[in-house]
Structures are given as C-alpha cells and as structure tokens.
Structure 1
C-alpha cells in the first residue's frame, strides 16, 4: 500500500529551536504585535497630572454640578471637570454636595 502523506521528522514537542524559527505565525501573533506597538506608543506619552479638585456634573446639557471631589477620589463619576481651589470653595459655599468618601470640605476648611 502506498503512503498518502509525506513522512515528517519526529521532534520533541518542546524543542526550542523549532519553536523560535517556525515560519508560520501562530494564533494571537497579530494581537501580540498590536499590544507591543500600543505599549511602545504609550511609553512616549506621559499621563496628565492628577487635578487637585474636580466637580462631578449632572446629566444633560446645562445641568448643575452634583458633587465636589478631591483629585484622586475613586468615587468620582465619568462626567467631571477640573476646578481650582477657589472654585471648589465657592461651589461648596453655594450648596453643592461634598463627596462623603474623599471629604473635600474638610481639606478646604469649609464647614457647613
């Protein structure tokens, strides 16, 4: 009987030379290339500094601010804007609620 397939040399499953020099890309090769490129591009860019104070805005255009946060507060929502110390004090004096987690009113010295 004639063989239908060409005989392949038998190699151990973890031979390092064959795994490194395999010309066929394996699954996920493109993904690895993309993540490597994105890491390289992000290395050149620095993150902006964390703001000292932020105000969380309400939903909708022109909605009033809902809460004041310290810059690194984990409870701040997605709709936020950076403000300075004077603006934070003024908003707290106008009745905008202070975050109960980061307590910006205590740090700013504003007592209700």
Structure 2
C-alpha cells in the first residue's frame, strides 16, 4: 500500500520523528491562534457591552441631523442614538445641537456658549 516509504526501520523512525515534530509545531501554532481569537472576541464583547460616554440622538428621518446630546447612561435618550466620543459631542454642541436638560452633558464637557 505505502510503497513510497523507505524499507528500513531506521529511516522510518527518522521520518516519524520528523513528522511528530512538525505536528507538535502545528498544534502549538493552532493553540496560539485560537488564544488570540479568544482574546479578540473577549475584547469585542467587552467593548459592545460598555456604554458609550456620550450619545447623539437623531430624529425620525434617516437623513436627520442630531437633535440632542446625552450622557452615555442618560435615561432620557431615545432609541435612535449613536455613541460618540467627547470631541464629537463638543462639536455637536458647538454646532447648535441641544444638550439634554436631564443629564447636562454641556456642563460635564465644559462647554460654555
């Protein structure tokens, strides 16, 4: 059946050792790749569950401009919100977007008109 293998025991054992070393290297690489994928998935899950620092609330129209700026945990924020960083929230406030009167993001961001 496997006539292409050498006929003597010494060379067969060398081949087996060589391939066992390669299988061990491949198994180690598989372990490292799986570990890296697990870490990426955990980081993505943690980022997805963490509330954003600031929210921009949008109107009903899909092309609508932001209507209000909220803190990330504001209970008054509607369903049409997008998480943003503090610089984007400041620019929105400077551009005339209203600050939520409940969570007062303008005072937390140090924004004075």
What do residues 16-48 of structure 1 show as CA deviations (whole Å, max 9, x unaligned)?
xxxxxxxxxxxxxxxxxxxxxxxxxxxxx7761
What TM-score do you get using the length of structure 1 for normalisation? 0.58
Residue 92 (str. 1) matches residue 93 (str. 2):
yes
Shift of 1:50: 1.1
Q: Secondary structure at the match of 1:105?
A: helix
Partner of 1:67: 68
- What is the alpha-carbon distance in structure 2 between the residues aligned to residue 64 and residue 107 of structure 1? 22
How many residue pairs are counted as aligned between the two chains? Answer: 68
For residue 76 of structure 1, report the CA deviation from its aligned partner: 0.3
CA distance in 2, matches of 1:107, 1:98: 11
Q: Which has the higher helix share?
A: 2
Scaled by the length of structure 2, the TM-score of the pair is 0.57
CA RMSD of aligned residues (A): 1.4
Offset at residue 111 of structure 1 (A)? 1.0
Structure 1: gaps (5+ residues): 1-44
